[in-house]
Structure 1
């Protein structure tokens, strides 16, 4: 004889499953309806206001401050050699420009170009690559940049970022133009002596080595500004400005988070470090 008890149990379980499936279907329909309502509401919300090119340039120029009276542009010849030269209205003019016999700093006919909004636009739009001179004529600077390249640059920049976090120093990480290195930027709300900034940079590096003692930090290249005081007859070392379009198109010269994941430009914001903490420390003048 068939097991009536077992058959009743199967029938009961199948009915319970069918009831639950109908409930889930009803719930699914309610969720789909609500989803459509929310999508309609989202489409009705005003889009966040987009910044004009002028506003973007103003923000960029306010952060990446250096000498405003001069800048350099990158060049590359047919053989692949490349470098930077000061932007000058008299460059290579016959009878006026005596390069390379006469250095730009010693040239009596120098007519250097100042950085303008158009200069920054040309850089960001990919027409030129601008080199900024962060060391101002009074031997102060508005920013600190720590440059890493070579093999262990990724782990070194991460450790340096952690060192900044340990000191509560706002900072930004940029993948370099080559893609084989990075810059860590610190922006100040007012200019500070280059000597103090460089001492801060070495303090950050010391902390990074403490955080990651297994790293050799061979990838560390230099600090910007690269001098404590403005050299006589010189301009200090330059650093390429970030976010140049052609480099960005290759995934380079972009800003990233602490895990080196690119940050969308629209979502990028930067904080400045207040100088009082440095002025009142043993690292100030």
Structure 2
């Protein structure tokens, strides 16, 4: 088999994995109650001999099952069990009139007539900066589409529990496939998603405990 054929097979495998992840993402949205219209229960959409998939979450040493019938609190706990980072601050996505976009730390005094001096003074230099914590309500608003928030994975002690690998060059498909293959060979579960722009991708790795950030980056 030639090199081009081998790369094509790897790309096809990656695209198939992307399709699987998109389907899984849709299923998780249903589990989290995020469908714009009332969703059909997974148990109702499957033949009687099959059982609806369940998500098992480990929290404080105890196992519990999350389904579409679970409480809002349990669904938020599912999200937080995967996406872990700083809880004293979070970022909010913004879009400018010129089409630019980005993320900035959420501040209680943002655009306050008295305290906020943007754009003359940067947020990092503002004496009235009052960062907001990452609460369950913030996560719920994110999951229901009221706003888009970002997580700060790096903790104050230079540890983290989640790793996002960014692929955004012209060769991002080949690079992502090679990275996923390496993860597979090393027995490391990894999930690939396409970036918001569609011109790149991210590979997510979730650790079962806190790890030093520096070795995680080098990985």
The alignment partner of 2:104 has SS state of: strand
- Would you say 1:120 and 2:139 are equivalent positions? yes
- After TM superposition, the score normalised by the length of structure 1 is 0.51
Give matches, 1:93-242, under 5 Å.
Answer: 93-200=112-219
1:224-245 CA distances to partner (integer Å, 9 max, x unpaired)?
xxxxxxxxxxxxxxxxxxxxxx
Aligned to 1:146, the other structure's residue is in SS state strand
Once residues 121 and 86 of structure 2 are traced to their aligned partners in structure 1, the CA distance between those partners, rounded to angstroms, is 22
Q: What CA deviation, in whole Å up to 9, does each residue of 1:13-50 have, x standing for no partner?
A: xxxxxxxxxxxxxxxxxxxxxxxxxxxxx559886653
What residue in structure 1 maps to residue 101 of structure 2? Answer: 82
TM-aligned CA deviation for residue 102 of structure 1? 3.2
Q: State the Cα distance separating 1:51 from its structure 2 match.
A: 4.2
Match of 1:61 in 2: 80
Structure 2 gaps of 5+ residues are 1-46, 54-66
Report the 3-state secondary structure (helix = DSSP H, G, I; strand = E; otherwise coil) of the residue aligned with 2:108. Answer: coil
Query: How far apart in 2 are the matches of 1:188 and 1:142?
Result: 5
- Partner-residue secondary structure (3-state), 1:163: helix
CA-CA distance at 1:79 after TM superposition: 2.5
**CA distance, structure 1, for counterparts of residue 137 and residue 107 of structure 2:** 15
Q: 1:168 to 1:81 in 2, by over 3 A?
A: same
Cα distance in 1 between the residues matched to 2:181 and 2:88: 35
**Structure 1 unaligned regions, length at least 5:** 1-41, 201-285
**Separation (CA, whole Å) in 1 of partners of 2:51 and 2:212:** 45
TM-score, length basis structure 2: 0.65
Larger radius of gyration: 1
Task: Tell me how far apart the structure 2 counterparts of residues 46 and 137 of structure 1 sit (CA, whole Å).
Answer: 43
What SS class does the counterpart of residue 55 from structure 1 fall into?
A: helix
Are residues 151 and 92 of structure 1, via their aligned partners in 2, closer, same or farther at CA, if it must alter by over 3 Å?
same
Query: Residue 87 of structure 1: CA displacement?
Result: 0.7
| CA root-mean-square deviation | 2.1
Indicate the SS of the match to 1:84: strand
Matches of 1:140 and 1:51, distance apart in 2: 34
Distance 1:186 1:98, change over 3 A: same
Task: Name the one with the larger strand percent.
Answer: 2
Q: How many residue pairs align between the two structures? A: 159
Q: Which residue of 2 aligns with 1:50?
A: 68
Question: Using the alignment, how far apart are the partners of 1:72 and 1:63 within structure 2?
Answer: 18
